Chains A and B, each alone.
Chain A
Amino acid sequence: MNEIVMNNEVIVYLLSETLLYILLFIASIVTVGVLKKWNFNHFTTEQFTLENRSYLVMTIILFAIVLKIILLPYFVYTINALSDLVPGAMCGAGVIKANAYGNPLLLIKIVILFLSGLWLSINHLDLKAKCYPYMKMKSWFFLFIFLLMSAEFLLDILYFTHIETTKPVSCCSVIFGQTAGVNSLPFGLDIPKLLTLFYLLFGLIVLTILSDMAWLSMVASLLFGVVAYYAVVYFFGTYIYALPTHKCPFCMLQDHYWYVGYAVWGLLLLGIFFTLDNALISSLFHRKTERVKKISLLLLGLFVLLCSSYVVVYYLKNGVLL
């Protein structure tokens, strides 16, 4: 058993994931059974039993999904904490790159976060109605998410059992390329273009949300997610670290930077999620989503404000930009 798996944070994380996976595994088996025989128009003992069972199982899924969402920041915290054990790693960037499973694991976790959030919204709509109109849809959707969760669980195990504490890894200074002295931004973007795109896309999201252009706001928010990632790593991050050469999405999650990374990435992910959720729920289910709209505008607005404030404060303090 290696040092990593015996680490306190990893034990807590893997144990929690295992327990939740067992719960979700049982829920998936019951869901398959419910799906096979579900017919809301029947008034038989079997159908009543299925309705009671599905209510229980959906409550279990709801509980497990909410906990899994909470586990995502804990996972990030864990990999940051492991940087003390992995030679060469200064933050989570090095740890996540410690083997080939890290990046796919992080990616699948973010995808599951978005899909789980959407499942919660559909479940909410279903419970608000009187005749379980989305029962079958949300059950199939859960089974699909469960497949991804199975892959995630496998990656969790593979990732944590394959981190070596004797082999040095590269960290953010190498990964994000400031030592190479080349432009690491995609599509030939430079910082001014990146920032223009960042604020334009934010403006477009606000405009499309306010004018109920669901699909356009969805596309804009997905693009914004990508652009915002690069903008934070290659521009706003340097103001958080107050160092023009320090480009890393993980270091800002550490205590030296008041854990501000959790707020930055949390606001971005949640803001994009609520924008997508608003677009999908209003266009696919024809529901009014005024509250979701306000939440998405608030979260993305706070994200942009938080990022921009680091630049403004730095300029006000020092009279120059980095």
Chain B
Amino acid sequence: MVILENISKIYHEGTPQAFEALRAVSMKVNPGECVVLSGVSGSGKSTLLALIAALDKPSRGKIVVNGELISKLPDLHASAYRAKTIGVIFQHFNLLESLSVEENVIVPLIHSGLHLSTIDSMAKKSMELAAISHKASQEVKALSGGEKQRCAIARALVHEPELILCDEPTANLDRENSLKFIEILHALQDLGKTIIVATHDPLFEGLPFVNRVLHMEDGQLECGKNE
């Protein structure tokens, strides 16, 4: 369960360049739900995801994920929270180009303390789920955009997070690869994962497995109607 209460985020606060990226946003995402945040660039979607992932802190308001207060988490705990609860898929993949697919997928488990054989089986499982097992030993720099995105999905899933955050996941993909990505997303929802996708891709409109589409504009949810 993700709960946002009255979340605001102001960049460069207290300076003439102050910019309010989010304005008193409140929303609730239930476990197993797939929620799409739509809206043009600069509407605050990515900021909202960054706050849920504890990559940044809000300027005011409360974020609770699985009963844990995220908005005030000290940095040390924020990393642990991300490593345990969150899987993030980025627009630009954020992969280590000189490593192989499998090595990239294993990265989030480096400090997990798990046995190598467990790490290996977890990596294999997530690569299968993301349909990238056949490229396991290939260097990331030799992959196509779609394959890179599937590698990024496998990496986001490897530690079996409950919550998956996708920030413009299809922005760098062609239509065919975008549809493949959506298929994978569907499969993840069937596995009971909670998914929040920030996108302005029209392909996400009217998808049967998407529970809700929330439109964002100027840092607010549609028409300022918070949930």
What residues of chain A have their CB less than 8 Å away from a CB belonging to chain B? Answer: 40, 43-45, 47-49, 51-52, 55, 127-128, 130-132
Contact = CB atoms under 8 A, between A and B. Distances in A.
Most buried by B among A44, A45, A132: A45
A55 B59 contact: no
B57 interface: yes
Nearest to A51: B72
Interface string B165-195: 0000000000000000000000000000000
Interface string B52-78: 000001111110000011011111110
Residues of A contacting B: mostly: helix
B61 A43 contact: yes
A44 B60 contact: yes
12 contacts: A43-B5, A43-B6, A43-B60, A43-B62, A43-B71, A48-B57, A48-B60, A51-B72, A127-B74, A130-B69, A131-B69, A131-B72
Contacts of A47: 60
B69 A45 contact: no
Contacts of A51: 57, 72
A146 B58 CA distance: 32
Contacts of A52: 57
A210 B13 CA distance: 53
B10 interface: yes
A241 B5 CA distance: 71
Contacts of B100: none
Contacts of A127: 74, 76
Interface string B1-28: 0000110101001000000000000000
Nearest to A40: B72
Contacts of A48: 57-60, 71-72
Given A45-B13, A48-B71, A130-B72, 8 more contacts: A43-B5, A43-B71, A48-B72, A49-B13, A127-B74, A127-B76, A131-B69, A131-B72
